[in-house]
Homo-oligomer: A and B are copies of this chain.
């Protein structure tokens, strides 16, 4: 077995979920990720914890068969809920043999199923949990890479010194945490300001997401002004949106367009009131993620990018007494900051063309 798989398993156990003796562990994985599941079983066995492998989240072929056979009337399964309630650690491994497996399941069917699964999702998020990636061939194909090239990409991004990464990111948290206004400029297409006053900035260094590599907070919902061209593509429910453009007034999207699949973007924004306002601002700081791979778990942490999400804000990024943007959606979109770009915090330049002021004070 590639020694990087065992290393990946140890980072999950030791760094991401802080595995303890006696922990009841659920590992959810597609069979193409078997090597990582086996490596995790070695680590879990060594630690005296108790593993159970499911393929609920990742078994897309079986879920497709189930959803197409049903009548869109789903209930929350008691047995699955009981399993997760009694679990200490939940590890979800992304990997598949066909990333478009559920492309012929009606969106409203998928939405009805997700709704029924919601209490299970909430339960998972209350545990020590981690979402990670195994570099399966179909995922390499989505990334437009050879399988070996994608393996290198994934493990370079994951198997790293997360304490050093945390310290690097802490520099940016120090700027953002006490800040009021943040301004993002890129080329002549993006110039947006927003208030993050009183909202905590979190340091994602590979705990719930592996890879981690961003710092993120919530904009105050009414504060966003200006325009953004998201020049990196995004996939929403299997459809690619390119060059998404949003114009904000008083926090709300008042104009939008996209080069490809504008109707999908429109649909997202029309979901509910909160879908027209930002719920997240994140700064990508994992420089081992040096290319776009159509996978938000990696893309949003890419070095020299920022991302903004329309929709729901994470509770832990909303300060006491501040308004939290609420929505049924949370859709991340990315701006390349490597050229002709600036991040200003309360009037001070903290990043220019991807370089931070704490890396080069001559910005």
Binding site for B on A (CB under 8 A): 22, 24, 26, 31, 34, 37-39, 41-46, 48, 50-56, 59, 61-63, 65-71, 73-75, 77-88
Contacts and interface: CB of A to CB of B under 8 A. Distances in A.
A24 B54 contact: no
Given A43-B69, A45-B70, A79-B24, A38 B50 contact: no
Contacts of A88: 79
B56 A55 contact: no
Contacts of A46: 69-70
Contacts of A48: 70-71, 73
Contact of A26 (B22, B71, B74, B79): B79
B56 A52 contact: yes
30 contacts: A22-B75, A24-B78, A24-B79, A34-B61, A37-B59, A37-B62, A38-B65, A41-B62, A41-B65, A42-B69, A43-B69, A45-B65, A45-B67, A45-B68, A46-B70, A48-B73, A50-B74, A50-B75, A50-B77, A51-B66, A52-B56, A52-B80, A52-B83, A54-B54, A55-B55, A79-B84, A79-B88, A81-B86, A83-B83, A83-B86
Nearest to A44: B66
Given A24-B78, A67-B45, A38 B54 contact: no
Contacts of A54: 52-55
Contacts of A69: 41-46
Given A38-B65, A54-B54, 19 more contacts: A22-B75, A24-B77, A26-B79, A31-B34, A34-B61, A34-B62, A37-B59, A41-B63, A44-B66, A45-B65, A46-B70, A48-B70, A52-B56, A54-B55, A55-B55, A79-B84, A79-B86, A80-B83, A83-B83
A79 B88 CA distance: 9
A45 B22 contact: no
Contacts of A45: 65-70
A104 to B, nearest CB: 14
Q: Which 3 A-B pairs have the closest CB atoms?
A: A45-B69, A31-B31, A50-B77
Given A31-B31, A31-B34, A80 B50 contact: yes
A77 B82 CA distance: 13
A251 B67 CA distance: 55
Nearest to A67: B45
Contacts of A70: 45-46, 48
Contacts of A52: 54, 56, 77, 79-80, 83
A252 B312 CA distance: 72
A49 B31 CA distance: 24
Contacts of A85: 82
A324 B183 CA distance: 80
A66 B24 CA distance: 13
